[in-house]
A = this chain, B = another copy of it.
């Protein structure tokens, strides 16, 4: 029976991101290639797979993350970013007002967010859209001018907007982290936003990729000691760790 076979093939695509026609022929040795072709075509019409040269790809394995020209930066150290994001997700508390910074690290977060009644506020338009995929969260977008290079909302309107918002938990991502200058970014406007958020937050979580360590950019939004939690993707140098612990910062190394 055909429908039965379609189910079986469908089950293969539930596990494999790509199946070639040849593999399929091996699994069904007494069927002609043409029949398997037609089966794949039927699955494509059902929206389960996409036919590509040589076989078909399962839509389940096609991720929409990173659909952009800034993918270059985004593609760097994805693994570290994901590990950091995963840890950060465990600090989120339902019912609280949670601020999420913009940036490629934060954009890894949505896939780790459980289905709870979170209330998010963010300056990142892309992140806002991704957060909506969680069916239960409320998503607030900060208004203001969108900066071209880092795709974040800043400016007078943004700061004004944020003064009217309560923030319980803030997740912030600096562009640099150094002992001398603390957590820094390269844009004044962006700094202003982060500074306001950090000042308002009951709890500030700073997410730092190890590549940012030792770097220092023009504007500081808070000192290392001002964070409540510091999440990194690699063991901190001793100096940093000592400084953090002196100030009561909880250090989380996401490995």
For window 122-181 of chain A, which residues contact chain B by CB distance below 8 Å?
Answer: 125-126, 128-129, 132-133, 135, 138-146, 148, 151, 153, 157-158, 161, 164
- Nearest first, the 7 A-B pairs at minimum CB distance are A143-B143, A125-B125, A139-B146, A143-B161, A125-B128, A132-B148, A46-B71
* Most chain B CB within a 10 A radius of its CB, from A141, A142, A157: A141
B138 touches A145 (CB 8 A): yes
Interface string of A42-74 (1 = CB under 8 A from B): 000011101111000101101111111101000
How many Å from the CB of A247 to the closest CB on chain B?
A: 33
Q: Which of B53, B140, B153 contacts A51 (CB 8 A)?
A: B53
| Residues in chain B near residue A48, CB distance under 8 A | 67-68, 71
| Residues in chain B near residue A146, CB distance under 8 A | 128-129, 132, 139-141
* A93 touches B (CB below 8 Å): no
Q: How far apart sit A91 and B161, CA to CA, in the bound complex (Å)?
A: 31
Q: Which of B7, B53, B62, B157 contacts A140 (CB 8 A)?
A: B157
| Residues in chain B near residue A145, CB distance under 8 A | 138-141
* A10 touches B (CB below 8 Å): yes
Q: How far apart sit A144 and B146, CA to CA, in the bound complex (Å)?
A: 15
| Residues in chain B near residue A57, CB distance under 8 A | 50
Q: How far apart sit A6 and B146, CA to CA, in the bound complex (Å)?
A: 23
* Contact of A141 with B138 at beta-carbon distance under 8 Å, contacts A59-B63, A67-B60 already known: no
| Residues in chain B near residue A64, CB distance under 8 A | 59-60, 62-64
B139 touches A141 (CB 8 A): no
Interface string of A1-39 (1 = CB under 8 A from B): 000001100100010000000000000000000000000
Interface string of A114-127 (1 = CB under 8 A from B): 00000000000110
* Contact of A151 with B125 at beta-carbon distance under 8 Å, contacts A53-B53, A140-B145, A143-B144 already known: no
